[in-house]
Chain A
Amino acid sequence: MHKRRDAALTVAIFCASVLLGELIVRALDVPGYILPAPSKVAMALWRGFATGLYQKHLLHTLTETLLGFVLGSAIGFSLGAAVALNRYVEYFLYPYIVMFQSVPKVALAPLIVVWFGLGLMSQIVNAALVACFPLLVNTIAGLRSADEDRINLMRSLAATRGQVFWMLQLPSALPFVMAGLEVAMIFALIGAIVAEFVGTEAGLGMLIQSMNFNMDVAGQFSVLLILSIMGLLLNRCILMIRRRILFWDSSEKERPDQERMPL
């Protein structure tokens, strides 16, 4: 019942703030190279898409992000599972993982470009590196979250370790893993953009940098807008998958409505 009203309100607030921005910029006569008016940003956006320039770079960044996300998630999940399931791996490997985790991964981007070149590969690797940690930590927490009583039940049924993992620990970990994937997706996007800043041949990050050199501030804003919408849509995809997989999780129903709100 409130849905339609909420949707209308969201659109109204969006229009009002755009209009307000336009008015302020015009009234105060802010120079375009400091803060461009929303209308200028919209025009830059239109131009970018009309010439096909944005599509090309968007596709490049999206590819990096998705491949980095998949690679990083796979690494994060496998490492997390190894740490959670094996005492020895935990004892010998975990300190290094924590040490590595405290390194700002963004600071590694220049090195990665040296190792992997200016091509797609270095951005994928950087995105994967940034994306893998949230999933790693969540996988460890998730696999350890299996309820004691349920473990006792499985043991009383003479379940093997493999069965306990597949039938109990993994499903118990899924809410954590999905939350990790949500963060990992956004982190992959950030990792990809940072790698593009350091050096690349294409991508939205590179576009921002070259626009910066040309003082095309409206253009930069338009790309930022694309990036944020891209992040939002990627997040929605994960949420959709999450809701399908975690239909049984009662906390899923209690989550705030924010992700159901219209764009």
Chain B
Amino acid sequence: MPGPEDATVDAISVRDLCKGYASREGCVEALRQISFNVKEGEFVAIVGPSGCGKSTLLKILAGVLSPSTGAANLRGTPIDGPRRDIGVVFQSPVLFPWRSVLENVLLPVDVQRIGGDRYRELALELLSLVGLREFAQRYPRELSGGMQQRVAITRALIHDPAVLLMDEPFGALDAMTREQMNLELQRIWLERRKTVLFITHSIPEAVFLADRVLVMTPRPGRIVDAVTVEIPRPRPLEAMNLPEFGTMVGLIRARFHAKGGLDA
């Protein structure tokens, strides 16, 4: 509620969110009573098996879908449609092949007509941050999958959104590239300190990246647990070999089994 704690309004706050789809067999419940908060600058991962409604949740937060009941707020204002202060990264890079890398990064700027040379500079700067500066004038089909996804992340950052929503962004990459991308994302996050909501079905990935991991189970999708990760940053890839890392992953996995989340 607004008041004295206004300065600490959560970046994302979700209350009792439900979403049902009409289907031939009646109403299918995709999300039931989802509630959680993400603090400003926090990195939160939602982990769950496929079909647990993670993507539905993300689409609601992105303003592309509307919830059946409940409310989602972004920095205290309700999300009732697409908003300009959200950056989204999807599972596939979703680049436009007819635009060069630089033009792809500038897509949000073009759509929101906030153009200007300032953003061109910023785009090049961000591309340097992800190591793609010299690919600015290339076209997406000349890039590897990992490079394309880095362009997509850059695009999500260009208009300086309050919140970054990531829907299994590295799900389509091979294991080695995926680890590199995790390191990269951590580095970007440490440098930019954006609020990130990261959806994944990999428990180790969630533990490696997040401050807090929300555990989601399917049918209907609901959040059954929240686990805080205490491993200090920056976390090197070797952090995955730490005993506390293994304990954490084991803990989350055990909660899935306890809730019957993995028999799906």
CA distance A171 to B96 in the complex (A): 9
Interface of A is mostly: helix
Interface assignment of A155: CB less than 8 Å from any CB of chain B: yes
Point out the residues of chain B lying under 8 angstroms from A249, CB to CB. 97
B108 at interface, CB cutoff 8 A: yes
- CB proximity of A191 to chain B, nearest CB, Å: 32
Q: Once the chains bind, are B63 and A248 in contact (CB under 8 Å)?
A: no
A149 to B168, CA, bound (A): 14
B164 → chain A closest CB, angstroms:
12
Interface size on A, residues (CB 8 A): 20
Question: A-facing mask of B203-225, CB < 8 A → 1, else 0?
Answer: 00000000000000000000000
Count residues on chain B whose CB falls below 8 Å from chain A CBs. Answer: 24
A147→B139 contact, CB < 8 A = no
Given A156-B63, A157-B112, A248-B139: A149 touches B96 (CB 8 Å cut-off): no
User: Cβ of B88: which chain A residues have Cβ within 8 Å of it?
Assistant: 153, 156
Q: Does B193 contact A (CB under 8 A)?
A: no
In the complex, whether A152 has a CB less than 8 A from a CB of chain B is: yes
For chains A and B in complex, what number of residue pairs have CB atoms within 8 angstroms? 56
Are B90's CB and A154's CB within 8 A? no
Q: Is B34 an interface position by the 8 A CB rule?
A: no
**A157 contacts across to B, CB distance below 8 A:** 82, 84, 107-108, 111-112
Residues of A within 8 A of B97 (CB): 248-250
Interface flags, A165-185, vs B, CB<8A=1, else 0: 001100100100000000000
Residues of B within 8 A of A155 (CB): 63-64, 82
Bitwise interface map of A from 141 to 157 toward B, beta carbon under 8 Å scored 1, else 0: 00000010110111111
Q: How far is the CA of A258 from the CA of B23 in the complex (A)?
A: 48
The interface residues of chain A lying within 8 Å CB-to-CB of B62 are 152, 156
**Contact across chains for A167 and B110 when beta carbons are under 8 A apart:** yes
Query: Which partner residue on chain A sits nearest B97 by CB separation?
Result: A248
Residues of A within 8 A of B111 (CB): 154, 157-159, 163, 167
B226 within 8 A of A: no
Give Cα distance in the complex from A250 to B98, angstroms.
10
Q: Is B81 an interface residue (CB 8 A)?
A: yes
With a cutoff of 8 Å between Cβ atoms, the chain A residues found around residue B84 in the complex are 157-158
With contacts A168-B96, A248-B97, A250-B97 taken as known, whether A152 is within 8 angstroms of B59 at the C-beta atoms is yes
Q: Is B83 an interface residue (CB 8 A)?
A: yes
Residues from chain B with Cβ under 8 Å of A247 in the complex: 139
> What CA separation (Å) do A163 and B96 show in the bound complex?
14
Interface residues of A in 197-248 (CB under 8 A from B): 247-248
Residue B86 is within 8 A (CB to CB) of chain A in the complex:
yes
Distance in angstroms from A101 CB to nearest chain B CB is 30
Closest to A249 in B: B97
Q: Which residues of A line the B interface, CB within 8 A?
A: 147, 149-150, 152-159, 163, 167-168, 171, 174, 247-250
- List of 4 A-B pairs having minimum Cβ-Cβ separation, nearest first: A158-B82, A156-B62, A248-B98, A248-B97
17 new A-B contacts at CB < 8 Å, known A158-B83, A247-B139: A152-B90, A153-B94, A155-B63, A155-B82, A156-B63, A156-B64, A157-B82, A157-B108, A158-B84, A159-B82, A163-B111, A167-B110, A171-B96, A174-B98, A248-B97, A248-B140, A250-B97
A and B contact pairs by CB, cutoff 8 A, 15 listed: A147-B94, A149-B90, A156-B63, A157-B82, A157-B108, A157-B112, A158-B63, A158-B82, A158-B83, A158-B84, A159-B111, A171-B96, A174-B98, A248-B139, A249-B97
